[in-house]
Structure 1
Amino acid sequence: MTTRNNNLPSRTPGGSNRGRPSGTASKSRNTAASKTKPKKGPFARLARALLILLLVAILAGLGYGGYLWWKLEHGVFNTDAGGSIDPAQSASVKPLTILLLGTDNRPKHASNLTDVIMVASLNPDTKSATVVSLPRDTLVQLSGYKQTKINEVYTRFKRNEAESGKRAEDQIKTMMGKYLGVEVDYVVLLDFQGFRDVVDKLGKVSVNISRDMCYTDSVDGTDINLTKGPAKLDGDSALDYVRYRKSNCKPKTAASDDFDRNKRQNEVLNALVDKLQSLGGVLKIGGVLDAVDDNMKTDIEGEQIKDLITTYMKISKSDIEFKPVTGTWHSPFVYINDKELEAAKQSLQDRIAGKSSGAAVAP
């Protein structure tokens, strides 16, 4: 769990008002192109694929708190958000909500689109968490904001930073807090390269591919070629697995909607958690944290990272409730199921209040 925030501002409260919206892989890769080094950031994102690694580092990697603590004490995970926090804001006493964003940024394709959108609420009294995931094409209709796809919100805020005078990271925390009816305390961003690197550091993840998947794009280097059946996927293949949407191959393979992708992303997330909790994961945790550090940014303070480690050191998958929200696809949007969205909001609010049971939902 690395902490470096690329000059993100210190934490500011998000809005809390509620708002309503109306088998084996084979491929060839260019090694040089796949190993760029963006500025540094913190925490672990299985993304879904927040972003997924940030969640892994906090919710699973914390089990190896002694090693993480050593890294923090020796300045490896310094954060520009500042080191100290108000004791009343500590993760050890206050429930926290963290926005996890997985960006579409990768070699040959610079982008701020957030193809992974997850919100995690953690409660220190129950030592449990609720994780809500939203489809990337979700139509957001929220008072005070322009109607748009949810994965375009962050990049719009980035474009308008100079005009608005506000950091995109603060703006999206406020907006997502209003959308889900909770205060968002922190944001973590992880790019695709970070996801690849974490999987490779841990070793191949085991999944059961439900269908053949084939798609190529010479512009950004995409080369998806996955075969139905049990498979062990490396970083490139795992990213292909969670990203796959449609086919342009001959013959074409079946398309995949946001809901199928969310299921696959949760499947990989659970596989990474299992890896981290294994003996091999313990031995490889240093490399995992370094990989995340190179590809993630956050506004979580250094002292808060230590408090998160201490508080959630023993959290397990059974203490994590996954609440994927689905809906109906009508191109180009996903129209969210209102009942599922309200249930997700309630789950986050109950987790913060210490009311949720914390049953894990299998992918």
Structure 2
Amino acid sequence: MWKTRKFWLIVGICFVALSLFAATGLAYQLNHWWNEAHISTDPDKAILSDKQRDKIMTQKLNRNEPEKNEETRYDFYALIIGLDLRDDSFMLNTDTIIVAHVMPKRQRVKLLSLPRDLRVTDLEDRSVKINSVFADGYMQAREKSRLNPDLLSGKTVKLGQFHIYEELLSSGMVVLRETVEEYLDISIDHTFLVHFQTVTELVDAVGGIEIDVKRTMVWDDGADGTSIYFEPGVQHVNGEQALHYARFRMDSRGERYHSNDFERNERQQEVISRIVDKVVSWNSLPKVLDMIDIVAKNVKTDMGQNDMIQLARNFYSGWSSGSVESIPFPGYWNYPFVYIDEEDLEQVKQALKSLE
């Protein structure tokens, strides 16, 4: 059975849409978007264990932060987390995780996709798959809040059709963010949580996209009605087809035809670039407003409103699909984890941090 794979925040689309949106000067709509999309990820408000809090503090004290200068003062790192919320299913594993190095003055974004089975050390000093970290943080917060309801403020966050206590989501986001920070030796400024349905709606909103299929893909799942079939070649796809293309993993023809996470990551980022191509070719405010509505429904972020406006100003007029750069992750599979050699990991870190 083709297991459900979580999806990703289309960071390029958020930046493009916000840039075009803020440039119109429509402050009311931007304020409304922010109010709907905002979520707190303050570690002091998250529901964490004492060991987790101590480790977060130790990591921050030991991390050497590079000094900001005029050239890098607006640069930041963002963590992009995907959840699968379909029908009545609330899936917690985050099988797609992207780290973005955003350089507004250079109008560039570097994207690094981390494999879902990547072996990491969590805040409890356990070796785990990275896609389980958010779920562990969420479930721990839920259990603690059941024993002590006073840990919850009562505020809920709407994600898809679900209304979820803010502290539960933010606790999962915090423990994953801190784990990724330690793994890549960076400080993440902003975190984004996305409902994978964003992909379908955004692709349909831009009128479909062109993708370059590299191989035949075949999958039929009688349990949930999923049917995927692609032949190699350039083709125009709608939102559902684009989602299937990016999520494809298992092949009905057998194991030798399965697709690995590294190939999936490449297809995901191809879809990002194709949507960006469409958006930057527009000169239509109504279309941009539709994009904002889609993002607001399906995306939650701790980015402040002023940061959004500044980001929009810095990116406006210079964004293109060429602004997005993908960083390869040369990992390898050795059951049950994905590993990466230490030397290769250092090169990945440097490529992500580099201003070039």
| Shorter-chain TM-score range | 0.7 to 0.9
Per-residue CA deviation, residues 37-61 of structure 1 (Å, 9 max, x unaligned), is xxxxxxxxxx99532x233221x33
1:247 corresponds to 2:227: no
- Aligned pairs (5 A) from 1:1-363: 50-51=8-9, 53-58=10-15, 60-66=16-22, 69-70=25-26, 72=28, 75-79=31-35, 80-81=38-39, 93-107=73-87, 109-141=89-121, 144-162=124-142, 167-248=171-252, 254-279=257-282, 284-313=287-316, 314-350=318-354, 356-357=355-356
2: distance between equivalents of 1:291 and 1:332?
Answer: 37
Question: Taking structure 1 as reference, are residues 297 and 315 closer, same or farther at Cα in structure 2, changes over 3 Å only?
Answer: same
For 1:155, give the aligned amino acid.
Answer: A
Identify the range of structure 1 (279-288 vs 196-205) with the bigger mean alpha-carbon deviation.
Answer: 279-288
For 1:70, give the aligned amino acid.
Answer: L
2: distance between equivalents of 1:281 and 1:275?
Answer: 12
1: distance between equivalents of 2:6 and 2:344?
Answer: 19
Offset, 1:329: 2.0
TM-score normalized by the length of structure 1: 0.72
Return 5+ residue gaps in structure 1 as ranges.
1-46, 83-87, 351-355, 358-363
Q: Compare relative contact order (CA 8 Å, sep 6+) and give the higher one, 1 or 2.
A: 1
TM-score normalized by the length of structure 2: 0.73
2: distance between equivalents of 1:232 and 1:187?
Answer: 32
Question: Taking structure 1 as reference, are residues 98 and 196 closer, same or farther at Cα in structure 2, changes over 3 Å only?
Answer: same
1: distance between equivalents of 2:204 and 2:107?
Answer: 29
2: distance between equivalents of 1:182 and 1:306?
Answer: 24
Offset, 1:182: 0.5
Question: Taking structure 1 as reference, are residues 229 and 346 closer, same or farther at Cα in structure 2, changes over 3 Å only?
Answer: same
1: distance between equivalents of 2:340 and 2:244?
Answer: 25
Offset, 1:184: 0.8
For 2:198, give the aligned amino acid.
Answer: G
1: distance between equivalents of 2:79 and 2:28?
Answer: 22
Return 5+ residue gaps in structure 2 as ranges.
41-67, 145-150, 152-166
State the Cα RMSD in Å. Answer: 3.0
Given that residues 245 and 257 in structure 1 are in contact (C-alpha distance below 8 angstroms), is that contact kept between their aligned partners in structure 2?
yes
Aligned residues: 296
Given that residues 79 and 97 in structure 2 are in contact (C-alpha distance below 8 angstroms), is that contact kept between their aligned partners in structure 1?
yes
Give the number of the structure whose residues are more often helix, by fraction: 2
SS at match of 1:286: helix
Given that residues 75 and 101 in structure 2 are in contact (C-alpha distance below 8 angstroms), is that contact kept between their aligned partners in structure 1?
yes
2: distance between equivalents of 1:156 and 1:216?
Answer: 31
Instruction: Percent identity, please.
Output: 28
SS at match of 1:77: helix
Offset, 1:229: 2.4
Question: Taking structure 1 as reference, are residues 280 and 106 closer, same or farther at Cα in structure 2, changes over 3 Å only?
Answer: farther
Offset, 1:154: 0.9
2: distance between equivalents of 1:108 and 1:255?
Answer: 28
